[in-house]
A and B are shown apart, each in its own frame.
Chain A
Amino acid sequence: MVPLHFSHFQSLLLFALIISLAFGTLGRRKPIERVKYAAWSLAMFVLVGIALGWLMYPFSR
């Protein structure tokens, strides 16, 4: 198969999107609740990921 290449941020977004959709579908029953939970989960994944990235930045060099 063709090798896939993503940047760090693209990988983060892809991971967050897939897992958020799974969490929303599995964890909630009503469609509106699923959408809300998936959106909340996606936002948390991305925000916490970026925050942790900046927290680790001083130790990267």
Chain B
Amino acid sequence: MFEENAANPAEGETGGEPRTDQPAESAAKVDAGVFGSELSEADAAAAEHNRGEAPSAARAVAVALAGWLLPGLGHALLKMWGRALAIFLTVGFLVYLGAGMRGNVFEPGGEDAFARLGYIADAGTGSFYFVARALEVAGSDVSHADGDYGTRFLATAGVLNLLAALHAYEAARGRKA
């Protein structure tokens, strides 16, 4: 689904030749032409931010971790403000709805595979996992359809956030993500 990448690499790493002989401005024009679409203001800022420094694996991992811990933070660090806000609001809203519908917030050390997988999915929301637990003061209630749907909402929030963190990692590496 993630077809375009704002943080085009300045050099190497993604199969392209290093562009050390090109000034930053002309490199930006080349990038815009290659991807065949206009860079939005935020994306252009991200591209400019990353240009001139080699994509670092450690930095990309840090960006991904930040994005996992606080949904949207990874993209915010890359100055992709629109996407950062979208991720924050989407994950936050899903967690709010999931907890409000009294979905099951799985705890670590589940007895079966479903509980363990459920915990992995819920933990994907990062710090929002604790928000969900704090919101759900009455505990979960999956005896009704609402609670069952809430469980899915919470799991979806986590998986979506993990996907966004992976996207931020790819963008930070300068790959077409």
Q: Which A residues are within 8 Å of any B CB, using their own CB? A: 1-6, 8, 11, 14-15, 18-19, 21-23, 25-30
Contact = CB atoms under 8 A, between A and B. Distances in A.
A25 B152 CA distance: 21
Most B CB within 10 A of own CB, among A8, A14, A27, A29 = A29
Given A8-B145, A11-B149, A28-B4, A3 B100 contact: yes
Contact of A29 (B43, B93, B137): B43
Nearest to B38: A30
28 contacts: A1-B135, A1-B136, A1-B137, A3-B100, A3-B146, A4-B100, A4-B146, A5-B101, A5-B146, A6-B101, A11-B101, A11-B145, A18-B93, A19-B160, A22-B87, A22-B160, A23-B1, A25-B83, A26-B86, A26-B167, A27-B2, A27-B3, A28-B3, A28-B4, A29-B6, A29-B40, A30-B38, A30-B40
A23 B135 CA distance: 26
> Mostly helix, strand, loop or mixed at chain A's interface?
helix
Contacts, number: 70
> Mostly helix, strand, loop or mixed at chain B's interface?
helix
A53 to B, nearest CB: 13
